[in-house]
Structure 1
Amino acid sequence: MELLYEEAGQPCFGLPSALATAYGGDLGFTTPCLYANFVTSIDGVVALGPEYPSSGSAISGREPADRFVMGLLRACADAVLIGAGTLRATPGHLWTPDHVCPQAAPDFAELRKKLGRAAQPQLVVVTASGDVPTEHPAVQSGATMATTANGARHLEGRLPAACTVFVAGERPVLRMTDVLAALHAHGHTTVLTEGGPHLIGSLISESLLDELFLTTSPVLAGRTDTARPGLIEGFELLPNRQAWTDLISARRRGSYLFLRYRLRSSCGLGLGLSAACRKRCPT
């Protein structure tokens, strides 16, 4: 990947040399940190609709560099946070680094060992109702369900033994603040979210999202009467609420752009650390 721009003083983990070479530099995060990763078409579509399973692959064209970045961001995380809709829309998927980029699996494993992470990030599925496809291979592999008291009752006796359930707060409606607090209490302080758009909307509405990785695919998706969401659904920002970001990294591979943004609205709020506490790369 060709590095086009990087803000000086970014946190760094010291990637294994093979990963640093492929990525075009180092990568790291503050602790705790919640970061998102999405791929979008040029016209702003991130999902093609419920009738198109695994639509992210269609938007990305299964670009190897995009799949490498997906794997790398998962390899850095304690946990991967998704909504139940994303689970249903991606049958057969596993939210592990090597699932999307198997050729880099040994290097991902080396990075996770260096960071003191478990062998694989913990998959956490957010579901207020408890309505999840329990036969999904990612659930069968041992996912964590973040749900309400009613959702937990609905899931009782339906999940494989490898799964865990935690009730996030006492409210009938899930607050992502409670979900993140529960994840931190379980030791998951570096969290990647891969959506979907309604989950991202909830996270942004509560000023919880710290960073966004956005791959711009050189494709036009188009829209007719089919719902084809953008990055955020279920929460309106402009013109009454502003959520500005700062571009902190830009990379290119062919006609694909790989952009990294820091959300200004999360600076000094919620669960993040101050800049003075960050481990930074030398400039």
Structure 2
Amino acid sequence: MAEESTVHPAGGTQTGSLEPLELLYEEAGQPRFGLPAKLGTAYGGDMGFTPPCVYANFVTSLDGVVALGPEYPSSGSAISGRASADRFVMGLLRACADAVLIGAGTLRATPGHQWTPDHVCPQAAPDFVELRRSLRRTTQPELVVVTASGDVPTEHPALQSGALVATTAEGARRLEGRLPPTCAILTAVSALRMSDVLAALHAQGHTTVLTEGGPHLIGHLLGEGLLDELFLTTSPVLAGRDGTSRPGVVAGLELLPNRPTGADLISARRRDSYLFLRYRLRTPRGNPVPSK
């Protein structure tokens, strides 16, 4: 399994008061959780998911860049400008999830980060707690780190807080005796398949899964036909490219022209010049993307 850099900003900086997002479009008939009043006001409406559901969240520049490269840790911060609205949506999506799925590269690239709702939007912490209680979720979503090699920074505070590390038999041997006691290992015999990881999560009752794992992890999920929805924040900046690795949403998987994967826009919101888009992928769940 390839490992990639982060796609959203790190850090738990306190944010100011959140103005409501402006609702531009919403497809009728979407599932609704019944958000607590303050969250519903800030989001500009309700939100919900029909399990099982795997949904991704990215912030992108106007020219399609979601990460600036390994030499820029936490590069999503530069792309998003740490906009309070983006951090609120990120926190809300985490609050809705049973588990948050990332790659080891994301873990390495965001030292000090915690993949919890309150870490990115602390002012909404009580409302996130209320939402999770109403959904009968655990206090925080479970962090799931995917690594084929077992190369993870075991001292990372997110691992110290507790996580499930999904890896190969070789990766498990590398990690033996090194992970904090708060962590558990999910081991695959050889190749690490995302369908096996999700099956293990479903067995634990984690049927609503958010991924913030980066372009390569998205490529693996799409390749196995496992991604249901995509949340995409469009930030009003240009990142540019000059012979550097600055990926878009999907890496490690070619789709056009031979394997088109369409999506339907089901929600659009805005704050100032930021757009918050929600898409439903058209690839039926469990149907792998056809080979060339």
* 5+ long unaligned stretches in structure 2: 1-20
Aligned to 1:186: 204
Aligned to 2:181: 161
Distance of 1:270 and 1:234 partners within structure 2: 18
Aligned to 2:264: 246
Aligned to 1:276: none
* 5+ long unaligned stretches in structure 1: 272-283
Counterpart of 1:48 in 2: which secondary structure?
coil
> Is residue 151 of structure 2 the alignment partner of residue 151 of structure 1?
no
Counterpart of 1:266 in 2: which secondary structure?
coil
- Alignment TM-score, normalising by the size of structure 2: 0.90
> Is residue 134 of structure 2 the alignment partner of residue 114 of structure 1?
yes
Q: Quick one: which of 14, 29, 36 aligns to 2:34?
A: 14
In the TM superposition, 1:136-147 aligns within 5 A as: 136-147=156-167
Q: Paired residues, what number?
A: 268
Distance of 2:272 and 2:90 partners within structure 1: 17
Aligned to 2:191: 173
Distance of 1:157 and 1:195 partners within structure 2: 25
Report the RMSD for the aligned CA atoms in angstroms.
1.1
Distance of 1:188 and 1:126 partners within structure 2: 16
Counterpart of 2:133 in 1: which secondary structure?
helix
Q: Quick one: which of 224, 244, 261 aligns to 1:206?
A: 224
In the TM superposition, 1:38-187 aligns within 5 A as: 38-168=58-188, 170=189, 172-187=190-205
Counterpart of 2:102 in 1: which secondary structure?
strand
User: Offset at 1:270?
Assistant: 5.6
Classify 1:260/1:82 alpha carbon distance in 2 versus 1 (closer, same or farther; 3 Å): same
**1:196-222 deviation per Cα after TM superposition (whole angstroms, max 9, x unaligned):** 110000000111000000000000000
Distance of 2:255 and 2:240 partners within structure 1: 23
- Alignment TM-score, normalising by the size of structure 1: 0.93
Q: Percent identity?
A: 79
The one-letter amino acid paired with 1:202 is H
Kept after mapping to 2: 8 A contact 1:209/1:266: no
Distance of 1:178 and 1:159 partners within structure 2: 22
The one-letter amino acid paired with 2:220 is S
Q: Kindly report structure 1 stretches of 4+ aligned residues shifted beyond 6 Å.
A: none
